[in-house]
A and B are shown apart, each in its own frame.
Chain A
Amino acid sequence: MSRFLMPPPARNARRLALRLGPFSTRLAVRGLAANLLLASYLLLVVWLGLSLGSRPIPLATILAWLRLEQVNDTDSIILGSLRAPRLCLSMLSGAMLALSGALTQHVTRNGLADPGLIGVRSAAALLIVALILAWPQAPLALRPVVGLAGGLLAGLVVGLLARGASPLKFVMIGFGISWCLSSALVILLASADIRSLQRAMMWLAGSLEGADWPAVRLALVVFVPTAIACLGLARQAELLDLGAATASALGINQTRLHVACLAIAVLLVATSVSVAGGLGFVGLVAPHMARFLPRQGLAGRLICATLIGALLVMVADLAGNVAFAPIRLPVGISLAAIGAPVLILLLWLRRNRI
């Protein structure tokens, strides 16, 4: 525990060269080990998430179900249409939010930037709620598109208003935009008729109650390509650490890189909002937690933050389900209850670096 509380000593990253034909790369051994450890935690939480609940399911049954073998009908339905989609959705939305937060924090060189916090999320939510209210039968895939438009618009407004501002002030302006938009959202909801309102409210609470396979598919379709793009961009983006002049001299087109990274970040948040509603704190907290693990390149750090984000949301959802059973807390609430203290602790530990 005391090791966690100490600000991390800058560890030298022992690295391993890996070469295979034309392919060659360099791996930070300890960072890789940390990421593998996180991945194994992820598997552990997947197992917990599938087996815990009002009807506990033993591991043997889960494994049999995963191998597509015959299991009894009740278990099969619980796993296939309740727990598995919910788990996948919580994993993916957490991963998307964390990846987006880590990317934004790196590119804007601002430890407090999180597109989920500074109005992008509210704007995406506002437009998606408007869509749900105006056209309840709209296809699910339209939601991230609409959310993306709103998110990009909000990001643009915040960026324009806060040009040249210090990191904290940038975030302040983002908060202002966010408040404005959430007030507009409340007004929109209050003026809606009650039936479509229920749909919107359920989605808005950041609840995973409505999780189903189409939502998971949608999240996957966005997450996989963007994650690959992020890893591709990471090699260029990590040079931004060296300052604008050096990055240019090393052959980076910074305008294009910034636009690409921020667009990806907004797309990820918009998708996450459209499938799982408003989940706070993940994008802000996960990248900071990743900094306490051994040093590695930006690509490794992004993977690390993504894994932590997925873990955070899954654990929060699990805790919300189990803590007050049979009542389930929406994941947005348990996430805030976990995330806010963690955030405050992290900010305090890193207070001199923000």
Chain B
Amino acid sequence: MTAMSSAGHSRERHALLLMLSVLAVLAILHIQQGARPIPATVMLDAVLSPDRDAFDHFVILSLRLPRASACIVGGAAFGAAGFLLQVAMRNRLAEPHVLGLNAGASLAVVLVTTYQPVVLPDILMPFAASLGAAGLFGLVLALSALGSGRFDPVRMVFFGIALSALASALVSAILILNEDTLEQLRFWLVGDAAGGGAAAVWSILPAVALGLVAGCLLMPQLATFSLGESISVALGASVHRTRIAALVVTALLCGSAVSLVGPIGFVGLMAPALWPRLHQRPSLGAFLLVAGSGAAILLAADILALGLLAPTELPTGALTGLAGAPVFIWLVARRLT
């Protein structure tokens, strides 16, 4: 990973290394957490030479490791989606949850699960969710641009919230009318990483990987955005096409993450906010840094969700909301001055 960030950016490389080590520590903490204490040596053993008969190995391999990886993959996708959105829209407040992408993805997942217009293989579910996310977000964009002809950041947030409320109302209505779906999706909806186990993680991995690679490829062009639209036009970047591509990738990342861990909010807002001055100089390294931070944030939130009131398990989405909403307020309030 370090090889990818260009040689000159030693500070970025240090930040990436720091972030990776924090991620590793958090992952170990996450796996150790649980009703049954498992020593670190057994953990290492379970990963290196798995023994199907050992109960500890079973717990780690089929319960804890999938959950940790779900957090890592989902968090990275949320963080990357948030950063892409913010850079593409040139708006620090842009966040998948705030702008309605999460609600759109949830609506799509619930619709597909309930009515099954086509029987989707698991691996295509992230794409269906992405379609929902893109649809609702497109509506938000259209509405916020209709009045003024440009994307007013604050107006965008307002319409995002209004349409999210509409989508969540529809989701609730569908769930109340179809108890089977409710039973299936109850925990997923409040943002719960425990969900589907290893199979679910594997099934969304291609979509997330696709999104991350596409994001990496787009980053150099998006970097010119930070100089202002007229300059980036002068530098030869096709602003319109790049922006649309970035939004499509955002929808893909966000949809995949939602279909894995549920509509968890604010990770995409917190992850870039951790690193000061990231938005002035968006680069490949910054993108990877934010993706990693997203993973770390979600892991940390999940550790707290599991451990805070053990044995009661808290919904992870509530914890990110509790931590992320103040970040949102801070960003809004700072723009006042």
Contact = CB atoms under 8 A, between A and B. Distances in A.
Direct contact of A and B (CB under 8 A): yes
Interface of A: 112, 161-162, 164-166, 168-169, 171-173, 175-180, 182-184, 186-187, 190-191, 280-281, 324, 327, 329-330, 332-337, 340-341, 343-344, 347-348, 351-352
B154 A180 contact: no
A327 to B, nearest CB: 6
Given A179-B321, A340-B163, 14 more contacts: A172-B157, A172-B328, A173-B333, A180-B322, A187-B315, A190-B309, A190-B312, A190-B313, A327-B176, A333-B176, A337-B170, A344-B162, A344-B163, A348-B147
A153 to B, nearest CB: 15
A169 B318 contact: no
B310 to A, nearest CB: 11
Contact of A333 (B172, B314, B325, B329): B172
A333 B28 CA distance: 42
A220 B1 CA distance: 65
Given A176-B326, A280-B165, A330-B176, A171 B312 contact: no
A335 B165 CA distance: 11
Interface in B113-170: 143, 146-148, 154-155, 157-159, 161-163, 165-166, 168-170
Contacts of B318: 183-184, 186-187, 190
B329 A184 contact: no
**Shortest 10 CB-CB distances between A and B: which pairs?**
A183-B321, A336-B169, A351-B147, A340-B166, A176-B329, A180-B325, A186-B318, A179-B325, A183-B322, A168-B154
Interface of B is mostly: helix
A279 to B, nearest CB: 12
A337 B158 contact: no
B227 interface: no
A184 B154 CA distance: 25
A83 B9 CA distance: 70
B322 A187 contact: yes
B336 interface: yes
Contacts of A166: 154
Contacts of B317: 183, 186
A337 B163 contact: no
Contacts of B158: 112, 168, 171-172, 347
B106 to A, nearest CB: 14
B332 interface: yes
Contacts of A161: 329, 333
12 contacts: A165-B336, A168-B155, A175-B328, A179-B321, A183-B322, A186-B315, A186-B318, A190-B318, A333-B172, A337-B173, A340-B165, A347-B162
Contact of B332 (A172, A324, A341, A352): A172
A348 B170 contact: no
A155 to B, nearest CB: 15
Contact of A340 (B146, B162, B177, B266): B162
Nearest to B321: A183
Interface of A is mostly: helix
Contacts of A179: 265-266, 321, 324-325, 328
B190 interface: yes
B170 to A, nearest CB: 7
A188 to B, nearest CB: 9
Given A180-B326, A340-B165, A348 B190 contact: no
B325 A177 contact: yes
B5 to A, nearest CB: 33
A162 B172 CA distance: 32
A47 B165 CA distance: 31
Contacts of B166: 336-337, 340-341
Interface in B298-337: 309, 312-315, 317-322, 324-326, 328-329, 332-333, 335-336
Given A190-B312, A348-B147, A175 B161 contact: yes
Given A183-B318, A187-B314, A329-B173, A336 B328 contact: no
A179 B269 CA distance: 13
B296 to A, nearest CB: 19
Nearest to A158: B329
Nearest to B328: A176
A332 B169 CA distance: 8
Contacts of B309: 190-191
Given A175-B161, A324-B177, A329-B176, A187 B319 contact: yes
Contact of B177 (A162, A176, A180, A327): A327
Nearest to A180: B325
Contacts of A178: 325
